[in-house]
């Protein structure tokens, strides 16, 4: 087994292997958690900066916390204008944001009921 001090010693290679497997699993879990919680997004071809700017503008214009905004989908209809669909608040009210090719927000509005 290990030494009396709790450290793994050369006298137990099985324990060293288990520790290596445990360490690898912990590292993989950490990597997966970081990937899942990443804010890096590309939605409908829109650059990451456009998505972030839309969330910030929607929070400001629609007077809601940024955490209550979910990026739903997006599209690039023409000439570098990106349309990003958002769900806002606990009722997931649909909104739309548009940005230009430089990720500057052109506008944020709630969608009309029945228009989605």
- CA-CA distance, 109 to 116, in Å (whole number)? 13
Q: Helices marked H in 43-96 — which ranges?
A: 48-62
Per-residue burial over 72-82, b = 16 or more CB atoms within 10 Å of its CB, e = otherwise: bebeeeeeeeb
- CA-CA distance, 116 to 106, in Å (whole number)? 20
Residues 15-63: pLDDT tens digits? Answer: 555 554 544 444 444 433 333 333 445 677 788 999 999 999 999 999 9
What is residue 109's predicted lDDT score, i.e. its pLDDT? Answer: 96
Closest CA to 41 of 31, 29, 50, 28: 50
Residue 102 predicted with pLDDT over 50:
yes
What does DSSP assign to residue 45?
Answer: T
Question: Predicted confidence band at 5 (pLDDT cuts at 50, 70, 90)?
Answer: low
What is residue 13's predicted lDDT score, i.e. its pLDDT? Answer: 54
> Model's pTM, two decimal places?
0.61
The mean pLDDT value for 75-100 works out to: 90
């Amino acid at each position: 087994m290990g030494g009396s001090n709790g450290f793994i010693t050369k006298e137990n290679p099985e324990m060293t292997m288990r520790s290596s497997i445990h360490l690898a699993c912990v590292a993989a879990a950490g990597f997966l958690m970081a990937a899942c919680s990443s804010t890096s997004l590309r939605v409908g071809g829109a650059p990451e900066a456009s998505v972030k700017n839309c969330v910030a503008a929607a929070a400001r214009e629609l007077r809601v916390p940024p955490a209550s905004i979910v990026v739903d989908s997006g599209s690039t209809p023409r000439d570098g204008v990106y349309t990003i669909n958002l769900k806002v608040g606990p009722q997931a009210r649909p909104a739309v944001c548009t940005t230009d090719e430089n990720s500057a927000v052109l506008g944020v509005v709630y969608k009309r009921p029945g228009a989605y």
